[in-house]
Amino acid sequence: MATDAAVKTSNAGKLYLVASPIGNLQDISLRALEVLRQVDLVACEDTRHSLKLLNHYEISKPTLSLHDHNERQRTEGLLEKLNGGKNIAILSDAGTPLISDPGYIFVRAAVAAGIPVEAIPGPCALVQALVLGGLPVSPFTFMGFLPPKSAARRRHFESLKEVGHTLVFYESCHRIQKFLQEAFDTLGDRPVVLAREMTKKFEEIFRGPLSRAIQPDCLRSWKGEFVVLIGAAG
């Protein structure tokens, strides 16, 4: 016998989670392009950013913003579209949806409603940095973005002092130098990898001790978003 959810969603559309390039527009799969051409609506973290990708591949689809500040409000209306038979893709600005990006609230609601959900694999900044970094990759702990306030970040670092494997973080250019100084002050002089502009023309990877990373001349530029890998103690 079919479940209630299966009966309820028998005519429903499908929700696709489409990984997008983290820099180089050629880093998108043929399957992802096919899905973007077939769906009825693309829910974008930033419609202006996603339109650059869609226009590059001559894909013309209705778009709707879906970001941290409106996801709760958007979810009910998007579920109605899915239940009405529309297919929707979630597209982050860069990388895999939900990984420190919007989409979790919507996906959770879709799963609870019995809507089919399919993930289209592709680029992910944390994985790219791990394979480039030269630090142990298994196991690792991904922390995403730490809180913006210094005291809260220091508490997080304190809680991670005894973790015996590679730590992975995302950080913005506006906080990266404070982040590194607080990591050095709390965790000590551990090996660190800083990755910025990955897959782009000016990709830059720093590998060395935290004591060197905190120096202002460590990198050619402190612009962009960073993936930070910090090695285990000892």
Per-residue pLDDT reduced to its tens digit, 185-228: 999 999 999 999 999 999 999 999 999 999 999 999 999 999 99
Residues 137 and 104 in one domain: no
- 8 or 79: whose pLDDT is higher? 79
Residues 95 and 146 in one domain: no
Minimal CA–CA distance to 107: which of 168, 197, 43, 194?
43
Last-in-domain residue among 120, 147, 173: 120
Confidence of residue 181 (pLDDT cuts 50, 70, 90): very high
Identify the domain containing residue 151 by its residue range.
Answer: 125-230
Say which residue the tokens 């730590």 belong to.
Answer: 167
| Mean pLDDT estimate for the chain | 94
Tell me: the pLDDT tens digits for 36-87? 999 999 999 999 999 999 999 999 999 999 999 999 999 999 999 999 999 9
Q: Which of 7-11, 61-65, 181-185 has the lowest mean pLDDT?
A: 7-11
Last-in-domain residue among 78, 102, 120: 120
CA distance 131 to 223: 22
Say which residue the tokens 């897959």 belong to.
Answer: 199
Cβ neighbours for 201, distance < 8 A, ≥ 6 positions apart: none
Residues 114 and 132 in one domain: no
| CATH number, domain with residue 135 | 3.30.950.10
Distances 200 to 24, 171, 196, 231 between C-alpha atoms, Å: 6, 18, 9, 25
Confidence of residue 111 (pLDDT cuts 50, 70, 90): very high
Question: Quick one: what percent of the chain has pLDDT higher than 70?
Answer: 95
Eight-class DSSP state of 60: -
ω into 62 cis (within 30 of 0): no
Number of domains in the chain: 2
Minimal CA–CA distance to 219: which of 197, 191, 188, 186?
197
Q: Does position 30 have pLDDT exceeding 80, yes or no? A: yes
- pLDDT at residue 10 in the model: 64
- pLDDT at residue 70 in the model: 96
Residues 129 and 226 in one domain: yes
As a whole number, mean pLDDT of residues 139-149 equals 96
Question: Quick one: what percent of the chain has pLDDT higher than 90?
Answer: 94
- pLDDT at residue 4 in the model: 44
Half-sphere exposure of 158 (CA within 13 A, CB side): 6
Residues 198 and 176 in one domain: yes
Eight-class DSSP state of 99: S
